[in-house]
Chains A and B, each alone.
Chain A
Amino acid sequence: EPEVTQTPSHQVTQMGQEVILRCVPISNHLYFYWYRQILGQKVEFLVSFYNNEISEKSEIFDDQFSVERPDGSNFTLKIRSTKLEDSAMYFCASSVLEEGTQYFGPGTRLLVL
């Protein structure tokens, strides 16, 4: 069964460093999303992406964040200069249709020291 994959599963970085989180959405899906979940808190929407453009972003998704679909399969989230409060689980999701069910990847746990 096709699934969303994410790499790495865990990443530890120093504050101020750049990180890139990678996602491979399900191959026939056209809509892509990033969510984050700070430990013990709820899953929060970051950004949605379609047709090589950001469709919508939350207030969390500030200038430190960017997304890209560098090729036909990968979907990346870049954090330019990480802060301690960026420590969280980051989930990628994809859907076939704009209003379709979103399927989540296994997540990347990011720890910023």
Chain B
Amino acid sequence: EDKVVQSPLSLVVHEGDTVTLNCSYEVTNFRSLLWYKQEKKAPTFLFMLTSSGIEKKSGRLSSILDKKELFSILNITATQTGDSAVYLCAVEDGSGTYKYIFGTGTRLKVLA
């Protein structure tokens, strides 16, 4: 059965800390791995990763994929209170239509 597992489930840090969020997966026909940030409602797109070892960066956020070990990490440096959200990992399953399989998310709370 396809699954995506995220850890930790929740995390509380102080502003300025660096956090690492983990996502491991087992998918029959892997196409890509995506990270989303979910605040009040809809997931907003952060990164799409398709190749191992290539870091994607956007400001203080970065992510990398390891297709051999079947995991990805999302790093946030110098965290701010605005980073407080649920971070979702989704894996795109290419068998059939390219549906996403989501993990349960990591709830990050950044304290001032």
Contacts and interface: CB of A to CB of B under 8 A. Distances in A.
Interface string B36-79: 10000111110010000000000000000000000000000000
A48 B41 contact: no
Interface in A33-59: 33, 35, 41-45, 48, 50, 55-56, 58
B97 A43 contact: no
Interface of B: 31-32, 34, 36, 41-45, 48, 88, 90, 92, 94, 96-105
B104 A45 contact: no
Contacts of A41: 104
A101 B48 contact: yes
Contacts of A89: 41
Interface of A: 31, 33, 35, 41-45, 48, 50, 55-56, 58, 89, 91, 95, 98-99, 101-107
A55 B96 contact: yes
For the complex of A and B, list the 8 residue pairs with the smallest distance between their C-beta atoms, beginning with the closest: A55-B97, A56-B97, A43-B102, A48-B97, A104-B42, A42-B104, A45-B99, A56-B96
Contacts of B103: 42
Given A104-B42, A106-B42, A107-B42, A98 B97 contact: yes
A100 to B, nearest CB: 8
Contacts of A99: 31-32, 92, 94, 98
